[in-house]
Amino acid sequence: MFKRKEKNKRKDFEKIYDTHVEKIFRFVYLKVSSKDDAEDITSKVFIKVWDSLSVEKDLSLKSPKSFLYKVARNLVIDYYRKNRKDPAKEVQDSKTEVSLESVVAPDKEMRADERALLNSEIEEVKKALSLINEDYQNIIIWYYLDELTTSEIADLLDKPESSVRVLIHRAITALRKSLKEKKKKGV
Amino acid sequence: MEKEVLTKIYLLRKLKPSASFVENTKESILQRDAVLATQKKQSVLSEFTGSFVSVFANSVFQSRMAVVGAFMFLFFFGILAYPLLPLNYEYSFVYIPALENGVEREEEIKMVAETDEMMVEVATSKKPIEKNLAELEDVYRNIQRQVLGSMIPAEEKVAVNLTDEDIIDYHLTRIESNDLRKNDERIKKIKEAKDGEDYGDAFNMIVDILSE
């Protein structure tokens, strides 16, 4: 009985982990400056998933996505609270700290110059994203990158779906503006 | 413009954790329960060991305390008992000749006690002196008995354990067979003392005669 339960737990965890680990890592990494910190927080998120699977009411099983993002978001808040850092400033100052080469998935066919260009573009978007409202950041990540439905986002933000649709539109406008401003500053 | 923004957003999809991180994290979390169980066991074990060490240390400490306590008890008991214990012996050795010389007992005891400061307090009070006198008489009688008994040759011993009467009879016979002593008036008194079971007096008189 116990072994069967244990086996199911492992199976459930592996399913959740394999499906979401990349998304959670990316969500966290876009909010913190360091790859190590992102990995650390990602690990903690999945430890919480594992621990929650031990509890009878498996919160993580009912709605894994919602559970994972809520935990990740709280851990990022804790990270900034403990380090007493400003999230936007942290990401802005992260140029020297972050090595995108180690984060961007390696592509064998990609030349070094192409890779450098890609890294630069990614860094530009990351910094532009960090400058906008936190809800907008989350919405862009969830809706465009992680492909959450408006219903799931509504659940995460505890807002009606109609409001989420409006927020998606506002978020993309805000990012566009932020990118434009960064470009102007760059020129 | 929106397309351009979306293209840039989609670039972020290329951000991925390293394969080693993904694998190692997964494995370490899957092993988490086993690790926690081991840690718990170690914690329980160390707690047990800790408490065992603590109990052991306590018992060692307590036994040390017991030893220290015993030493302290013996030390203080020794200090308190010292004035009483040797005092009896002092009396016995000095008092016996004093008694024989007819010196008053209490005065003699005080004099002896003055040789040691700690003994003075005990010796000057009435009760210990009276008690010591009684004890001294017993000691004196025993010494006399041993001395008189040891004077009897083995071949003339009527029994392995001689009684007071046996000792008195042997010495009375020896005294009566001696021409110089056979008319001593004290022979009669010795006999009377023996008949009245006052063996101490009989011993005294025998010692007096033999020491002349």
DSSP string, A83-110: HT--HHHHHHGGGTT--GGGTBPP-TT-
- Establish if A36 touches chain B: CB-CB under 8 angstroms: no
Output the pLDDT for position A75.
93
- Establish if B17 touches chain A: CB-CB under 8 angstroms: yes
Residue B6 and residue A144 in contact, taking contact as beta carbons nearer than 8 Å? yes
- Establish if B16 touches chain A: CB-CB under 8 angstroms: yes
Residue A27 CB partners (closer than 8 Å, separation 6+): A69, A72, A141, A146
Task: From chain A, pick out residues whose CB is under 8 angstroms from the CB of B10.
Answer: 144-145
CB < 8 Å & 24+ apart, contacts of B84-91: B84/B122, B84/B128, B86/B116, B86/B119, B87/B113, B87/B116, B87/B119, B87/B122, B87/B123, B87/B128, B87/B132, B88/B132, B88/B135, B88/B136, B88/B139, B90/B115, B90/B116, B90/B119, B91/B132, B91/B136
Residue A25 and residue A42 in contact, taking contact as beta carbons nearer than 8 Å? yes
Task: From chain A, pick out residues whose CB is under 8 angstroms from the CB of B20.
Answer: none
Q: Which tokens in the block code for residue A33?
A: 């400056």
pLDDT in tens, A159-186: 999 999 999 999 999 999 988 887 776 6
- Give the residue from chain B lying closest to A43, CA to CA: B25
- Establish if B34 touches chain A: CB-CB under 8 angstroms: no
**Of residues B117 and B208, which shows the higher confidence score?**
B208
Task: From chain B, pick out residues whose CB is under 8 angstroms from the CB of A26.
Answer: 12-13, 15-16
> Does B11 contact A39 at a Cβ distance shorter than 8 Å?
no
Output the pLDDT for position B44.
57
**Is residue A148 packed enough to be buried (19+ CB in 10 Å), middle (13-18) or exposed (0-12)?**
buried
Output the pLDDT for position B77.
62
Output the pLDDT for position B104.
44
Tell me which DSSP letter residue B101 carries. T
Q: How confident is the model at residue B156 (pLDDT cuts 50, 70, 90)?
A: confident
Output the pLDDT for position B61.
58
**Of residues A41 and B107, which shows the higher confidence score?**
A41
Residue A144 CB partners (closer than 8 Å, separation 6+): B6, B9, B10
Output the pLDDT for position A10.
85
Distance CA A167, CA A160 (A): 11
Chain center to CA of A133: 15
- pLDDT of residue B35 exceeding 80, the answer is no
- Establish if A117 touches chain B: CB-CB under 8 angstroms: no
To the nearest 10 degrees (0 to 180), the angle between helices B105-113 and B117-124 is 150
Output the pLDDT for position A23.
93
> Does A22 contact B30 at a Cβ distance shorter than 8 Å?
no
> pTM for the complete prediction?
0.53
- pLDDT of residue B183 exceeding 70, the answer is yes
Distance CA A89, CA A131 (A): 9
- Other C-beta atoms closer than 10 Å to the C-beta of A164 total 25
How many contacts (CB atoms, under 8 Å) link A and B? 91
- Establish if A175 touches chain B: CB-CB under 8 angstroms: yes
**Of residues A131 and B69, which shows the higher confidence score?**
A131
User: How far is A125 from chain B, CA to nearest CA, in Å?
Assistant: 7
Block residue for tokens 């530009």: A124
- Give the residue from chain A lying closest to B4, CA to CA: A176
3-state helix, strand, coil in chain A (%, to 5): 80, 0, 20
Distance CA A27, CA A68 (A): 10
- All residue ranges of chain A with pLDDT < 50 are 1, 95-102, 187
Output the pLDDT for position A29.
92
- pLDDT of residue B182 exceeding 70, the answer is yes
For chain B, what is the mean pLDDT?
A: 68
Least confident segment among A120-124, A169-173, B25-29, B133-137:
B133-137
Least confident segment among A14-18, B48-52, B174-178:
B48-52
**Of residues A104 and B92, which shows the higher confidence score?**
A104
User: How far is A116 from chain B, CA to nearest CA, in Å?
Assistant: 13
Output the pLDDT for position B31.
83
Task: From chain A, pick out residues whose CB is under 8 angstroms from the CB of B28.
Answer: 43
Residue A90 and residue A32 in contact, taking contact as beta carbons nearer than 8 Å? yes
Calculate mean pLDDT across residues B111-140: 46
- Establish if A110 touches chain B: CB-CB under 8 angstroms: no
Q: Which domains does chain A have, with CATH numbers?
A: 1-104 (1.10.1740), 132-187 (1.10.10.10)
Output the pLDDT for position A73.
92
- Establish if B29 touches chain A: CB-CB under 8 angstroms: yes
- Give the residue from chain A lying closest to B21, CA to CA: A39
Q: Which tokens in the block code for residue B93?
A: 């050795």
> Does A179 contact B8 at a Cβ distance shorter than 8 Å?
yes
Calculate mean pLDDT across residues B71-75: 71
Output the pLDDT for position B178.
81
**Is residue B103 packed enough to be buried (19+ CB in 10 Å), middle (13-18) or exposed (0-12)?**
middle
Distance CA A31, CA A69 (A): 13
**Is residue B104 packed enough to be buried (19+ CB in 10 Å), middle (13-18) or exposed (0-12)?**
exposed
DSSP string, B6-38: HHHHHHGGGB---HHHHHHHHHHHHTHHHHHHH
